[in-house]
Structure 1
Amino acid sequence: MRRLIPIVALLGLIACATPPPRRVAPEVALPMLSLAPAAFGASVSLAQRLSFAHDADPGGPRSLEALVEIDAAALQLAGFALGQRVFTMQWDGAKLDEQRDARVPEQFQSRTVLRDIQYVYWPAASVRAALPPDWTLEDAPGLRVLRHAGKDWLTVRYGGEPRWAGRAELVNLAEHYRLTIESRLSED
């Protein structure tokens, strides 16, 4: 029984990282981004606490720890639940490699994680250049908004500068979730 508790807790945390099944297809699919790590324009190493909340999840937000490193050559991310590594991903601008614990559900998509990281942190000019013509990105101090057909589909609010410092909150109206990111420089 004692060995099952961490597994059940891990599955609960991972389940919240993916949108719950919906009977109705989303109104719009957010554009996927495949921006090069060099387009980030800096090198950072961050320790993060990620809190996920889905509109359809009455259990409320769930948390996960992550380590993120971005430099000109790659974005690397490792996710941890209950102190155990549950997934890693590496993006070099052309290829996305991932490793995941067998208990991580198939619904957890590394491409979606990469997309969200790039919407939150990459420079607005790089994001705009990658968007289809009918999408716009507004970028103002403390706020970023992705729009399509006159509707806000994704918003990011920032609590500090540079934007990867401190708190950022992403609200994804297309896929019905909120992600709160608390970041601090990682101690190597």
Structure 2
Amino acid sequence: MRSWLLALLTLLAACAGPSPNEVPLGYVAPAAFGRTLTLTQQITVVAMGESRSFEAVVAIDPERIDLAALAMGRRMIAVHLDAGGLREDRSPLVPEAVSGARILRDLQLAYWPREALAAALPAGWSVEEGAHSRDVLLNGATILHIEYSGEPRWRGRTTLEHRRFGYRLTIDSEEA
């Protein structure tokens, strides 16, 4: 089990390292989501030819966001965002390069309203949407491509492809 956890954490670290290609999104206010919601998720990360999965629970209300990432039934990362800022609690098994804040950022890029994201991004960055997709662009070039299987967008399968970092998240969500 320990070797499986270390393999998962190494894969997550590979797609989580700092880079000038990072989408410079600050934390978007929980209230901007527009509703109270709790999701259970199965997240599969594909990077460097490897695929690993973990579970997550995300609770959103107008005052805060709580996210817990679990591997093999063990909590590896807990993230809390409210008016006081972001707090992250992590297992000692989690490499420094793995960021719960980055997981939260990807979830916000996938699920928060386009208008809230566009307002939080600096000049040169934009968000475009189709019926079942969203693109986050830098000077017209797609950095993130997101596809949705249903409505509302957080229900069912979401696929997020980071074209510059070379990773893909497949997120299967259910309302709890």
Please give the alpha-carbon distance, in whole angstroms, between the structure 1 residues aligned to 2:39 and 2:15. Answer: 28
- Spell out the pairing of 1:161-180 with structure 2 (5 A cutoff): 161-180=151-170
Shift of 1:94: 4.3
Query: Structure 2-normalised TM-score?
Result: 0.93
Among 159, 168, 179, the alignment partner of 2:149 is: 159
Q: Does residue 84 of structure 1 match 2:74?
A: yes
Report SS of the residue matched to 1:157.
strand
Please give the alpha-carbon distance, in whole angstroms, between the structure 1 residues aligned to 2:53 and 2:40. Answer: 13
Among 99, 107, 123, the alignment partner of 2:89 is: 99
Number of the residue aligned with 1:40: 33
Report SS of the residue matched to 1:161.
coil
Please give the alpha-carbon distance, in whole angstroms, between the structure 1 residues aligned to 2:30 and 2:42. Answer: 22
Report SS of the residue matched to 1:18.
helix
Query: Is the Cα contact below 8 Å between 1:35 and 1:93 reproduced in 2?
Result: no
Report SS of the residue matched to 1:61.
strand
Please give the alpha-carbon distance, in whole angstroms, between the structure 1 residues aligned to 2:139 and 2:159. Answer: 23
Please give the alpha-carbon distance, in whole angstroms, between the structure 2 residues aligned to 1:70 and 1:81. Answer: 21
Structure 1 residues not aligned, in runs of 5+: 1-5
Shift of 1:28: 2.8
Report SS of the residue matched to 1:17.
helix
Number of the residue aligned with 2:43: 50
The root-mean-square deviation of aligned C-alpha atoms, in Å, is 1.8
Number of the residue aligned with 2:11: 16
Report SS of the residue matched to 1:181.
strand
Please give the alpha-carbon distance, in whole angstroms, between the structure 1 residues aligned to 2:15 and 2:103. Answer: 16
Shift of 1:132: 1.0
User: CA deviation digits over 1:125-145, x for unaligned, max 9?
Assistant: 000111112111101211000
Q: Pick closer, same or farther for the CA change 1:100–1:131 going to 2, 3 Å.
A: same
Please give the alpha-carbon distance, in whole angstroms, between the structure 2 residues aligned to 1:149 and 1:157. Answer: 21
The residue identity in structure 2 corresponding to 1:183 is S
Among 124, 127, 130, the alignment partner of 2:114 is: 124
Report SS of the residue matched to 2:13.
coil
Shift of 1:174: 2.1
Query: Is the Cα contact below 8 Å between 1:33 and 1:118 reproduced in 2?
Result: no
Shift of 1:69: 0.6
Identity %, equivalent residues = 35
- Farther-moved stretch of structure 1 (70-79 vs 85-94): 85-94
Number of the residue aligned with 2:2: 7
Higher radius of gyration, 1 or 2: 1
Kindly tell me the number of residue pairs found equivalent between the two proteins. 176
Please give the alpha-carbon distance, in whole angstroms, between the structure 2 residues aligned to 1:21 and 1:50. Answer: 15
Shift of 1:20: 5.4
The residue identity in structure 2 corresponding to 1:43 is T
Query: Is the Cα contact below 8 Å between 1:19 and 1:176 reproduced in 2?
Result: no
